[in-house]
């Protein structure tokens, strides 16, 4: 399916992003904080469960809940990258992801959505009122729904660019499904963040009490 050149380029991007996500201070804190280790492993298991429940007609273009927006808000983008790597390794070991499609899954199905989720948080934090409900509805609910659509669009554009499928096949069997998946994606992430900041706000790395509760 994918040529060696394309796979090489994809793996290069995956490795670059993975290396950029490595931060000595972050990982030192991780090693010294059992609760944070539990969070990383828990998110990895949640990813694995969500990503194995998938539907799709075209090879390589599966439809499933991502869950990365809530995880990014909880762990930060660096540790969410780590969780996605652990989840992908687990799914690959159990034969849920083909080795040939592994870099596509990592890049389009995990890394880019994670980075965009964090970008959504940064934009919201900088330019919108720092309010409890803004955090839930913008950073979690809306961002998750938009990113679900972006992930589908990127996957379609990638396979269109390499000539594996034509636009009519992609539109009929994949792209139009973004109208269906965005809402459950948004709901799941929004509900997860609502529960977390209500009962365990200190576990959510990007939720700052002095900003979101005192405004």
Domain boundaries, the chain: 4-212
- Are 152 and 58 within 8 A, CB to CB? no
Among the listed residues 184, 154, 214, 215, the one whose alpha carbon sits nearest the alpha carbon of residue 70? 184
What is the reported pLDDT for 184?
A: 94
- Topology of domain 4-212 in CATH is Arp2/3 complex 21 kDa subunit ARPC3 (1.10.1760)
**Res. 215: pLDDT tops 60:** no
Report pLDDT for 174: 86
Give the total residue count for the chain: 215
CA atoms within 13 A on the CB side of 43: 32
- Residue of 169 and 17 predicted with greater confidence: 17
pLDDT-derived band at 118, boundaries 50, 70, 90: very high
pLDDT at 60 over 80: no
**Residue 69 pLDDT:** 98
Task: Give the predicted TM-score (pTM) of the model.
Answer: 0.94
Residue 121 and residue 71 in contact, taking contact as beta carbons nearer than 8 Å: no
Beta-bridge mates of residue 63:
55
Q: Radius of gyration (Cα) for the chain, nearest Å?
A: 17
Identify which has the larger pLDDT, 31 or 215. 31
Q: What tokens appear for 175 in the block?
A: 């792209």
State phi, psi for 63 to the nearest 5 degrees: -110, 125
* Average pLDDT of every residue of the chain: 91
Mean pLDDT of 43-72: 89
Asked if pLDDT for residue 214 goes beyond 70, the answer is no
């Amino acid at each position: 399916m994918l040529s060696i050149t394309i796979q090489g380029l994809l793996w290069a991007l995956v490795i670059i992003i993975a290396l950029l996500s490595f931060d000595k201070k972050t990982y030192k804190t991780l090693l010294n904080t059992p609760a944070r280790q539990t969070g990383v492993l828990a998110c990895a298991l949640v990813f694995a469960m969500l990503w194995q429940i998938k539907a799709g007609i075209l090879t390589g273009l599966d439809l499933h809940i991502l869950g990365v927006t809530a995880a990014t808000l909880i762990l930060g983008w660096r540790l969410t990258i780590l969780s996605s790597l652990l989840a992908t390794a687990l799914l690959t070991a159990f034969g849920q992801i083909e080795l040939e499609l592994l870099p596509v899954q990592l890049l389009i199905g995990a890394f880019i959505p994670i980075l965009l989720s964090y970008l959504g948080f940064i934009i919201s934090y900088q330019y919108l009122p720092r309010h409890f409900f803004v955090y839930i509805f913008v950073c979690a609910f809306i961002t998750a729904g938009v990113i679900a659509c972006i992930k589908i669009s990127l996957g379609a554009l990638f396979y269109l660019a390499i000539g594996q499928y034509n636009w009519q096949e992609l539109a009929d069997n994949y792209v139009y499904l973004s109208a269906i998946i965005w809402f459950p994606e948004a709901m799941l992430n929004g509900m997860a963040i609502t529960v977390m900041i209500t009962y365990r706000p200190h576990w959510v790395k990007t939720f700052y009490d002095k900003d979101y509760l005192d405004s």
